[in-house]
Structure 1
Amino acid sequence: MRPRDSAPRIIDRGPDSAPGGDSRGGRAIQRLTRLIAAVLFVVAFGSALAPRALAALGQFLIVDEPLRPAAAILVLGGAVPYREMAAADLYRAGWAPRVVLVAAGRTDDQRLAIEALGVPLQDPMTVRQDILVALGVPRSAQIVAPGRADATLDELEFALTSVGDGTEPMILVTSPYHARRVSLYWRHVAGERRPAITRTAWQDGFDPATWWRNQTRILSVSREVMGLANYALGFPIAERAAGRAPAISR
């Protein structure tokens, strides 16, 4: 009969199994743990900063300058009726004797498609004018600038032409997210000839602290960021009707 070993048997599984030693699996787990911790830190840090950065962007887009008597109030097209409401408030307060509107462009394809459907064409300008009348701005105080604007630059150029020469400022009324771009574009178009006072139509409801939670606002802000980049680069992407000469800062 074979005698039983009195000493406990030790099975050597190699250096990776030594007590306190790092196995290859253990090192992999540690690396994975560190990676997860780093990712969680970045996510937590980014989550804390992202709302602040986005809110700062929303606030940057807003321009609301002090009022003073002006030659006219330009209501930028879009966001009907909120911009008209803000312009009417300024008119009734006596800041300017006239309100300027610029018609938006409509392509021939759009017109023909609507006519083919047998739907009567509605003039958006008439709607805007009626809104202003309802808000206390008579037709006699409204100026419809000649031409149809396809972009913000067009709109500002037509408006500048419609008020004639003079050094009195023009009040520019637009939505909060659009104000920064409008202010810069006006300087590009008018130069030193006629200053502008950019005013925000708060009736629009834009909230710089939460805009990224709304798809419509995300699209609006994205458009503004691209427009500002286009301005900063000298308008490599045309923002006016085909065939028109580019605006020159004066």
Structure 2
Amino acid sequence: MWEKFLNKDVTPPDTGMPGPEKRSPRGRFLKPILLGVILAYILVAAFHVQILTAIGKYLVIEHDVSKSDLLVCLAGANIERGLATADIYHKGLAPRIFVAPEEPPDGLDLLEGKGIEYPRSIDLMVTLLQELGVPGSAILIGEHPSGSTKGEADMVRDLVEKEKYRSIILITSPTHTRRTHLTFSKVMEERDIRIQVVPTRYSNFSAEEWWKHRKYVREVILEYEKLVYYYLKELR
């Protein structure tokens, strides 16, 4: 009789009090995530200037330049890059300047069909360099338009091979220097070419306060997007 009593399932009496709350699996994960978000917010709030400055500085590469065979003025931002290119040329650091035409804007062919002259970006760059004292004979223009840094690097590689150049100086905007160096180094990796990169000093970009200016916020975000794409492409 006692064995039956001991083995019998006994249901606890209903006391009217709620039982212990069962934690859902979702709750176990949400708490550490929430704590992590709060901690990250505190860190960013406390060190946001240092973090944002580091983000800006990572994009910028600057080499001590020495005499080279060719200056390469990357397409875009004509004024700030053209001024820096002319400065380096007049210092006697290279006898030639290469500039690549940018892809023409949409609708340019229609304007030309109507007989309307509209200055191309490459024409403006050449005019700027000449007005800054660079002789036309020192300016080399790419044979076809390029829509990317990789396209420009390919054209420079072909020119380097043709002319037997051994060293180049790349002039571009500060936020563009790291990706420029990565791209040209990759394209030239099988060639013994010394590559030096110079950010133009005529840009108002500052790694210490870029986040205060909408223009540079866009530049930094865009450059990081392109860097991520570059690294993902290289990992394939």
TM-score range, shorter chain: 0.7 to 0.9
Matched to 2:127, the amino acid is: D
Shift of 1:173: 0.2
Q: Which residue of 2 aligns with 1:145?
A: 142
CA 1:169–1:42: 2 relative to 1, 3 Å: closer
Q: Which residue of 2 aligns with 1:65?
A: 63
- Is 2:137 aligned against 1:130? no
Distance of 2:139 and 2:201 partners within structure 1: 22
Post-superposition Cα deviations, 1:130-187, rounded to whole Å, max 9, x if no partner, equal 1111112110000001111011110111122234253521100001110000000001
**SS of alignment partner, residue 142 of structure 2:** strand
- Is 2:173 aligned against 1:175? yes
Matched to 1:70, the amino acid is: S
Percent identity of paired positions between Structure 1 and Structure 2 = 26
Distance of 2:82 and 2:107 partners within structure 1: 25
Matched to 1:219, the amino acid is: R
Post-superposition Cα deviations, 1:189-228, rounded to whole Å, max 9, x if no partner, equal 1114122100110101110111111111111111111111
Q: Which residue of 1 aligns with 2:189?
A: 191
Alignment length, in residue pairs? Answer: 199
**SS of alignment partner, residue 222 of structure 2:** helix
Q: What TM-score, normalized by structure 2, do the two folds share? A: 0.76
Distance of 1:176 and 1:161 partners within structure 2: 25
- Is 2:44 aligned against 1:50? no
- Is 2:223 aligned against 1:220? no
Distance of 1:120 and 1:175 partners within structure 2: 29
Distance of 1:228 and 1:83 partners within structure 2: 21
Q: Which residue of 1 aligns with 2:233?
A: 234
Q: Which has the higher helix share?
A: 2
Post-superposition Cα deviations, 1:111-143, rounded to whole Å, max 9, x if no partner, equal 245458885321221111111111121100000
Shift of 1:235: 5.7
**Superposition RMSD on alpha carbons, in Å?**
2.5
Distance of 2:66 and 2:40 partners within structure 1: 48
Distance of 1:181 and 1:155 partners within structure 2: 13
Equivalent residue runs for 1:155-166 within 5 Å: 155-163=152-160, 164-166=162-164
Q: 2:100 aligns with which of 89, 99, 102?
A: 102
**SS of alignment partner, residue 225 of structure 1:** helix
Distance of 1:171 and 1:110 partners within structure 2: 34
Q: Which runs of 5+ in 1 are unaligned?
A: 1-34, 237-250
Counterpart contact for 1:76–1:174, Cα < 8 Å: yes
CA 1:215–1:223: 2 relative to 1, 3 Å: same
Matched to 1:86, the amino acid is: A
Post-superposition Cα deviations, 1:77-122, rounded to whole Å, max 9, x if no partner, equal 1112111111111111011000100000126x43245458885321
Distance of 2:185 and 2:43 partners within structure 1: 39
Q: What TM-score, normalized by structure 1, do the two folds share? A: 0.72
Moved more, 159-168 or 114-123: 114-123
Distance of 1:118 and 1:147 partners within structure 2: 22
Matched to 1:49, the amino acid is: F
CA 1:113–1:209: 2 relative to 1, 3 Å: farther
Q: Which residue of 2 aligns with 1:22?
A: none
